[in-house]
Structure 1
Amino acid sequence: MTGAETAADGDLTVDELAARTGLTVRTVRFYASEGLLPPPERRGRVAYYDARHRMRLELIRTLQEHGYTLAAIDRVLARLPPDAAPAEFAVQAAVLAPWLPDQSELLDRASLERRVGRVLDDGQLAFLASVGALEIHDDGSYRTAPSLLGQAVELLELPVPPSVLADSAALIDDHATQVAEGLTELFARAIWGPYQRGEIDHDQVLAILERMRPLALQGLVGAFTRAVDDAARRRVER
């Protein structure tokens, strides 16, 4: 490479950018073709990338690991200014991260049956999916939720109609969705709005999220437990 073609300090070729972000060159170019990266700077026949591209790629990779589609990621990136600072990317990643670590596993049917220690028919698989213990994919694989799978399989042995258990799961899911939407709206008004207006800074948002998430989860479990106890008591006292 000649002196004119040598990258300035901090500039990266596509190979260097891929290595820095843990992605393949093909993946970097794919994201660029999808419009998720701004155009690189070209000097002669060589394209150079900078910190803006690296931070965007790291956010894209993080969000994809969390299950976001490229369309959703594109909407997130569209809200970021072209000169967004690293702290802005950190806030976006923290806000959109799952509240609990993803411990799911992707298994084929044979591996799933070995995991639960029994053969599962299609009806039982459908039941496990209905209560959130697994997702059934079109390619014949299964995404499991280990925290629920064992307990859900044990329910198959009980003399409770599967429809009752599935309806219970649907009821919980519906109300959980309402709670989640309410908390998201509250966060938007009380935290995200002030952050966008510059009233609180990046570090304060990250600190709030770090403390708010476990508190909200514990509060939700506690409120549900009290509500179930109260409902049972009222039914007995009728």
Structure 2
Amino acid sequence: MTEYRIDDLARVAGTTTRNVRVYQESGLLPRPQRRGRVAIYTDRHLSQLQAIIRLLSEGFTVKHILKFLTGLQRGEGLVEVLDLADLGELVTEPWSHPVSETMTREQLEAQLGPLNAATLRRLTANGIIEVSGPTGSAAESTESAEDADTYLVRDRRVIDDFGKLISRGMPLSAILKTTAAVDKKLDEAAQALSGAGHSEVVRQRGTGWYPGNDAELAWAADLIDVMRRVARRSAHASLDRALDAAVRAELRRYQQGERKS
């Protein structure tokens, strides 16, 4: 059996010594053997470290990996390891990763321009900002948006993008009207796609079905993952095609109007 010091183990596994120590402290990696003051790792450590790296690269969290590994060490099956609650967590884990941030009214106005009470209420109603509570969390009421000093921005990137359009002369009112219309259509598309997934599960497994063993769990996870990925790529491709067609049509209408005038 090959033996490794921590630097060698990290190098062979393609990671860093710091990560090895973090995985060890988190309970993901067994403690090394000790020979005096030297820590000795074995092929078992290498195999488990490589498995951890692969699972992390696939999007699993440290919590899931730890539960998975400790469950297998106890001789449990996949259903017992993950249990149904964890299946729901994996299935419903969001694909979007908004960059939320607390901003003052002055900071918002520096990017969006002067914000009157109506505009602040509209930003709140559209889900772009929330009134920030005393600890920086979102307050329950949205009626006092114009009186707040700070706001929780659900995704800072949206504010940055709005700012880019405003700097090019587009009014915020037009931006909000457009994004609200697009959001409504995207919500309808998401409902159609999720409905298609539900219909497919019912078609193949029957109404009220829920996974009860390892094979059924793997089937459900695979179907949901593939459908989400295909739907996402298809939606992006469809939006690109629709934008191309809409821009060309709008350009033609604009050119025809210029010629008439």
TM-score, length basis structure 1: 0.51
Shift of 1:214: 3.3
User: Which of 118, 124, 142 is 2:151 aligned to?
Assistant: 142
2:180 aligned with 1:184, yes or no?
no
Shift of 1:176: 0.6
Distance, in Å, in 1 between the alignment partners of 2:229 and 2:92 is: 15
Secondary structure class of the residue paired with 1:189 = helix
Shift of 1:134: 2.8
Instruction: Check 1:151–1:129 CA distance in 2 against 1; reply closer, same or farther (3 A cut).
Output: farther
Distance, in Å, in 2 between the alignment partners of 1:232 and 1:117 is: 27
Q: Any residues of structure 2 matched to 1:83-102 within 5 Å, and which? A: 86-102=82-98
Secondary structure class of the residue paired with 2:188 = helix
Partner of 2:75: none
2:225 aligned with 1:201, yes or no?
no
AA partner of residue 96 (structure 2): L
Shift of 1:150: 0.7
AA partner of residue 234 (structure 2): G
Instruction: Check 1:116–1:204 CA distance in 2 against 1; reply closer, same or farther (3 A cut).
Output: farther
Query: Which consecutive residues of structure 1, in runs of 5 or more, have no partner in the other structure?
Result: 1-83
2:183 aligned with 1:173, yes or no?
yes
Partner of 1:232: 247
Partner of 1:109: 104
AA partner of residue 92 (structure 1): G
Secondary structure class of the residue paired with 1:201 = helix
- Matched pairs, number: 153
Secondary structure class of the residue paired with 1:182 = helix
Distance, in Å, in 2 between the alignment partners of 1:143 and 1:98 is: 19
Distance, in Å, in 2 between the alignment partners of 1:204 and 1:186 is: 17
Q: Any residues of structure 2 matched to 1:56-135 within 5 Å, and which? A: 86-105=82-101, 107-109=102-104, 113=107, 121-122=115-116, 125-126=120-121, 128-129=123-124, 133-135=128-130
Q: Pick which of 218-227 and 146-155 moved more.
A: 146-155
Shift of 1:179: 0.4
Distance, in Å, in 2 between the alignment partners of 1:118 and 1:166 is: 11
AA partner of residue 222 (structure 2): A
AA partner of residue 130 (structure 2): E
Contact 1:128 / 1:134 at 8 angstroms: preserved in 2? yes
Shift of 1:178: 0.6
Q: Any residues of structure 2 matched to 1:146-165 within 5 Å, and which? A: 146-165=156-175
Distance, in Å, in 2 between the alignment partners of 1:213 and 1:116 is: 38
Distance, in Å, in 2 between the alignment partners of 1:208 and 1:101 is: 22
**Aligned CA-pair RMSD:** 3.6
AA partner of residue 142 (structure 1): Y
Larger radius of gyration: 2
Q: Deviations over 1:24-43 (max 9, x none)?
A: xxxxxxxxxxxxxxxxxxxx
AA partner of residue 97 (structure 2): P
Q: Deviations over 1:104-154 (max 9, x none)?
A: 23x1526x7189678853456456546654334448442320231211123
% identical equivalent positions: 16
TM-score, length basis structure 2: 0.47
Instruction: Check 1:98–1:192 CA distance in 2 against 1; reply closer, same or farther (3 A cut).
Output: farther
Q: Any residues of structure 2 matched to 1:38-53 within 5 Å, and which? A: none
Query: Which consecutive residues of structure 2, in runs of 5 or more, have no partner in the other structure?
Result: 1-78, 132-138, 257-261
Partner of 2:76: none
Distance, in Å, in 1 between the alignment partners of 2:109 and 2:115 is: 15
Secondary structure class of the residue paired with 2:163 = helix
Shift of 1:175: 0.4
Instruction: Check 1:135–1:225 CA distance in 2 against 1; reply closer, same or farther (3 A cut).
Output: farther
